[in-house]
Structure 1
Amino acid sequence: MVMILGLDVGGANTKAASSDGSFTIIEYLPLWKGAPLEPLLRRLSAEARPEAVGVVMTGELADSFPEKRSGILFIKGAVERSFSCPVRFWGVSGFNWRDLADLAAANWSASAALVAEEVGDCLFVDMGSTTTDLIPIKGGPRAAKTDFLRLARGELIYMGLLRTNLAALLGAVEVDGERVPLSAELFAIAADAHLLLGDIAEGEYAVETPDGGGKDRESAERRLARTVCADPGEIGPEGVEAIARQARARQLELLKGGIRRLAEEHSLNLVAAAGIGEGLIREAARSLGLEVIRLSERYGSAVSEVFPAYAVARLLEVELGGR
């Protein structure tokens, strides 16, 4: 079989998948810190030995770039230098884009195009480490074409399962009968709450910790307590867990609100859930009485977690097969 590789180059993670789903990888690679993208791409080229590569990106928004165009050119150049096979970039209008701006944050578009073909009308919801896409599909994807407009329309929620700052989620928490404002610092992230609650294992804490410390339960407790300017001993294990539970509840509330509004607006009763936050999406959708398809059950968990990379590989396979 022809090996077609899909790449999703994000600001925090670079993901790859083959069109048959047998090869997947997620690599934490923070572009805003100057992480070496090309060495990873060259390694992927040597390991996968693809005959064609499809690419989507969101990393152009990393604040190491002065504007999106610079980021697009950086990513595009790095990919083209790293692979000797044909490389095709997917934009919000597909592979036949005309303006570089079409490539900006187009990974959701590839996912939605494939879901539209293989699932049909639904609300496609993909929750990653940093953001959540909510794409109405009714006779095809109906989302806005830019992140700015998707944010405005509720089709992009800047909240993920791991990297979201708790201070951006919660203005205050209830601890031991007191309503306490959270300190406006990067003391803890959503991954700390999910680790403490058992939603993720230590090995799934696949991002940097805010304090550079450990990814174990004790370290997470310390970070969570610090959000209310305390040590764990001051508020006790119940107080620390209360912070974690309220952070998770807030994420669930945001998901429910976004899903409810878009499902009602587009008269959709089916949610297709993908990403590392698939379980939270399912919980939110079911609480609204909506039917849920977990893409991990259809394609496997590894593919669901890198779905845009898999989708662009599948779409390129169809594109090349039609020639």
Structure 2
Amino acid sequence: MEILGLDIGGANLKAIKLSVSNGKTHVKEVIREYFPVWILGKNGVVEGLRKLKESVNPSPNYVVSTTMTAELSDLFRNKSEGVRFIVGTVEEVFSDASRRFYVNVKSKLVEYSEAYKSPLEIAAANWAASAWLISKKLRNCIFIDIGSTSTTIVPIINGKISVQGYTDPEKLVYGELVYLGVLRTNICSIVNKVPYKGLFARLSSEKFALSGDVCLVLGKIGVKDYTTETADGRGRGIRECLDRLSRVPCADNEILNDYEILEIARYVYESMVFRVFETLTQVRSRIASLGYNPSTFKVCTAGLGSFLAKEAAKRAGFKDVIDVSGIYGKKISHILPAYAAALMALEVLGK
């Protein structure tokens, strides 16, 4: 039997194929690809999932387990429409699967009728899949997953997921979601000024450069990690990234030398760390209010931006910081919700 775990995001499509035989589970294939829903359109989403199915070529006896965040895309009028479209597409594309499951915000799996009836229970539930998995490994911890676009923070207390927010707006309020990632975030949404020739210059609000440019020129990611489109449509090499960053204060690569541009990148990166640090202090405060010492909690990081999560966690006072790649491997770390969704199906099926 095979289980296909899907994480259908607004910017990335992640999938894993597991093979189950004789009580043992084997990872057969891992896929992570850029999937800009707002560019692809509805037909492109359908076609993308069809191509994915062709690529993984599941066996006749297979199950699909799906989580999603793509419903937030402005391709859809609202989240309910988005969830129902994605659920309907999965049902159509994978109609030959023996079972099709969807992760909800309570870390449970439901099938089509329940997902269609209660779409907001399915919306942006990828964190619930990951947290379900981590809670089985770590009793008291804070799980931090930083991807290309956003940062998820999930407290786990006494082996139970202990969130206050179940929707994106609630999570933004409670410090469980930061709309900051290591590839796609516009620089002018991170800082409102940058160092400029011994002073500070205010910024243009144009989309001149992204967080991926910052992380690449500072050596935090490699060119192969920069999978999304760039702000100007040009390449992802250091030269192109530096050129884009020079435009943030309405300058260019003639007005600023490379050393000056790198100082801008350092300033922006420190601001990124602070954004996550600030949210972690909010979460620490809540844990402390419940009578627990947050300094005794582990932090488990995941995603392409795990390096940022580690740095912010240490500054926030956490001493025991581990990466999920140390538990499941690096490939799994980058597609954790899809992997977790697949394992949830495995548990439901009693395999």
TM-score between both structures, scaled by the size of structure 2: 0.88
Letter in 2 for 1:87: R
Partner of 2:152: helix, strand, or coil?
Answer: strand
Decide which of 174, 190, 194 is 1:173's aligned counterpart. 194
- The corresponding residue for 2:48 is 40
Once the two structures are superposed, the pairs formed by residues 267-306 of structure 1 within 5 Å of their partners are 267=292, 268=294, 269-290=297-318, 291-306=320-335
Partner of 1:250: helix, strand, or coil?
Answer: helix
- The corresponding residue for 1:92 is 105
More contact order relative to length (CA 8 Å, sep ≥ 6): 1
Conservation of the 8 A alpha-carbon contact between 1:136 and 1:263: no
Letter in 1 for 2:208: F
- The corresponding residue for 1:13 is 12
- The corresponding residue for 2:267 is 246
Partner of 2:161: helix, strand, or coil?
Answer: coil
CA–CA distance in structure 2, aligned partners of residues 263 and 23 of structure 1:
37
CA–CA distance in structure 2, aligned partners of residues 114 and 172 of structure 1:
40
- Return 158-167 or 278-287, whichever deviates more: 278-287
Letter in 1 for 2:201: V
Partner of 1:232: helix, strand, or coil?
Answer: coil
Which structure 1 segments of 5+ residues have no match?
none
Shift of 1:119: 2.0
- The corresponding residue for 1:68 is 79
- The corresponding residue for 1:164 is 185
Shift of 1:153: 0.7
Which structure 2 segments of 5+ residues have no match?
19-25
- Return 212-221 or 281-290, whichever deviates more: 281-290
Matched, 1:313 2:346: no
Summarize deviations over 1:78-124 as a string: whole Å, max 9, x none. 11111110210111121145612101000001111111112222111
Matched, 1:115 2:114: no
Letter in 1 for 2:9: G
Conservation of the 8 A alpha-carbon contact between 2:109 and 2:344: no
Shift of 1:44: 2.8
Shift of 1:183: 0.7
Matched, 1:27 2:56: no
Conservation of the 8 A alpha-carbon contact between 1:21 and 1:310: no
CA–CA distance in structure 2, aligned partners of residues 319 and 43 of structure 1:
27
Partner of 2:31: helix, strand, or coil?
Answer: strand
Decide which of 280, 287, 302 is 1:259's aligned counterpart. 280
Summarize deviations over 1:243-268 as a string: whole Å, max 9, x none. 11111111111111112221332143
CA–CA distance in structure 2, aligned partners of residues 99 and 57 of structure 1:
14
Letter in 1 for 2:305: G
Letter in 2 for 1:70: E
Decide which of 49, 55, 59 is 2:66's aligned counterpart. 55
Summarize deviations over 1:161-208 as a string: whole Å, max 9, x none. 110000000100112211101111100000001111111111111100
Letter in 1 for 2:338: A
Conservation of the 8 A alpha-carbon contact between 1:126 and 1:132: yes
Conservation of the 8 A alpha-carbon contact between 2:175 and 2:280: no
Shift of 1:39: 2.6
Identical-residue share of aligned pairs (%)? 36
TM-score between both structures, scaled by the size of structure 1: 0.95
Partner of 1:52: helix, strand, or coil?
Answer: strand
Letter in 1 for 2:162: R
Letter in 2 for 1:43: K
